[in-house]
């Protein structure tokens, strides 16, 4: 951990010039005393870092000092910066490692391109926290210790013991053979097998995890994208899912399909509205989704959904029909 911090400290001084101990402590998320100890360690190792006294003083590197982080051209580094701006690293507990890696990527560029790369964060925004309607993306919080243990088992090919809380069930310990990790809309999932059967676990429901020394029973190679598509198809066709026939204003199509599990069919009606057959998690999910559309959407079938929406609308009308 300290070696990574020392590299990050050098890169910060390389890219931003003279910085105070307080600024370095804030950037590295350590105390100023730790920064001073790190500066001493760098000096002892031969890194030409020096201190400037006074109100505008701080620490800096001697001009011309170069690190050995080379080999990337401008476009390659920009591609890594864009990819690194996605929040999947946060989901998998790699946020601090990503921040350190991005510093190294910028430092690997020729000096003539470094300013351009440093401005990527100002010019490209990937997956912001809210959309144009101010709807926030909900990122599930998973303790780094749990994610790290799961990640180690996945990458090492070892069995994994997890304390898992399935929906509506008492948490239980399970031993699984991990296959891979997937992040979708800021939610992390573990793809695994248990006693040979496919299983998908939501990381936010893992209460504890332990990597075991035994090798996992799994294929040497995996097509994770294909595996995820197959798991998704199984999920959409199982459980208490309901399929609904809906007419919707085209302007509200995305509002509808973004909440549905799947769109089975779609066609345009003569009046310009869209007719979609969509699948929802359960009846309550279907009713909620159609209610959000107001008069911009109409459930054509099944009849129980039309009746439920009508009764809800009648109750609302009765509530507001007479002033107290």
Residue 97 near residue 89, CB atoms below 8 Å:
yes
pTM over 0.75: no
Query: Strand, coil or helix: what is 172?
Result: strand
Contacts 24+ apart (CB under 8 A), 308-315: 308/283, 312/287
Taking the C-alpha atoms of residue 282 and residue 279, their distance in angstroms, rounded to an integer, is: 9
Query: Which has the minimum average pLDDT: 21-25, 70-74, 76-80, 131-135?
Result: 70-74
> DSSP letter string over 155-174?
HHTEEEEEEE--TTS--EEE
Question: Sorting pLDDT into bands at 50, 70 and 90, what band is 295?
Answer: very high
Strand bridging mode 172-184 / 158-164:
antiparallel
Q: Rounded CA gap, 320 and 311, in Å? A: 14
Give pLDDT tens digits for 137-151: 666 678 888 988 998
Q: Which residue has the tokens 């129980």?
A: 304
Q: What is residue 69's predicted lDDT score, i.e. its pLDDT? A: 46
pLDDT-based confidence at residue 94 (cuts at 50, 70, 90) = low
pLDDT, greater one: 1 or 253? 253
Using one digit for the tens of pLDDT, what is the confidence trace for 181-202?
Answer: 888 766 788 999 998 888 999 8
**Is pLDDT larger for residue 259 or for residue 248?**
248
Q: With cut-offs at 50, 70 and 90, classify the pLDDT of residue 2.
A: low
């Amino acid at each position: 951990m300290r070696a990574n911090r020392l590299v990050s400290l050098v890169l910060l001084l390389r890219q931003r010039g003279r910085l105070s101990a307080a600024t370095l402590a804030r950037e590295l998320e350590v105390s100023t005393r730790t920064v001073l100890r790190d500066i001493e360690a760098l000096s002892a190792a031969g890194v030409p870092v020096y201190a400037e006294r006074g109100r505008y003083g701080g620490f800096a590197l001697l001009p011309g000092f170069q690190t050995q982080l080379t080999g990337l051209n401008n476009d390659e580094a920009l591609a890594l910066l864009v990819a690194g701006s996605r929040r999947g690293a946060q989901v998998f507990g790699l946020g601090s490692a990503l921040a350190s890696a991005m510093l190294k990527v910028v430092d690997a560029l020729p000096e003539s391109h470094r300013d351009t790369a440093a401005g990527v964060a100002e010019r490209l925004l990937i997956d912001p926290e809210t959309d144009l309607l101010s709807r926030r993306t909900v990122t599930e919080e998973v303790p780094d210790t749990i994610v790290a243990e799961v990640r180690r088992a996945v990458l090492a090919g070892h069995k994994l013991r997890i304390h898992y809380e399935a929906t509506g069930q008492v948490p239980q310990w399970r031993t699984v053979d991990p296959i891979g990790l997937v992040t979708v809309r800021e939610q992390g999932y573990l793809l695994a097998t248990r006693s040979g059967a496919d299983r998908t676990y939501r990381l936010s429901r893992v209460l504890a995890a332990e990597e075991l020394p035994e090798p996992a029973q799994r294929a040497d190679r995996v097509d994770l994208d294909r595996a995820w598509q197959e798991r998704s198809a199984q999920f959409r066709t199982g459980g208490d899912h309901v399929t609904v026939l809906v007419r919707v204003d085209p302007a509200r199509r995305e509002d509808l399909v973004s909440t549905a599990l799947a769109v089975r069919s779609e066609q345009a009606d003569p009046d310009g509205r869209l007719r979609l057959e969509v699948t929802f998690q359960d009846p309550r999910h279907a009713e909620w989704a159609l209610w959000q559309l107001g008069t911009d959407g109409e459930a054509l079938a099944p009849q129980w959904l039309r009746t439920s929406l009508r009764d809800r609308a009648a109750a609302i009308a009765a509530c507001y029909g007479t002033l107290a």
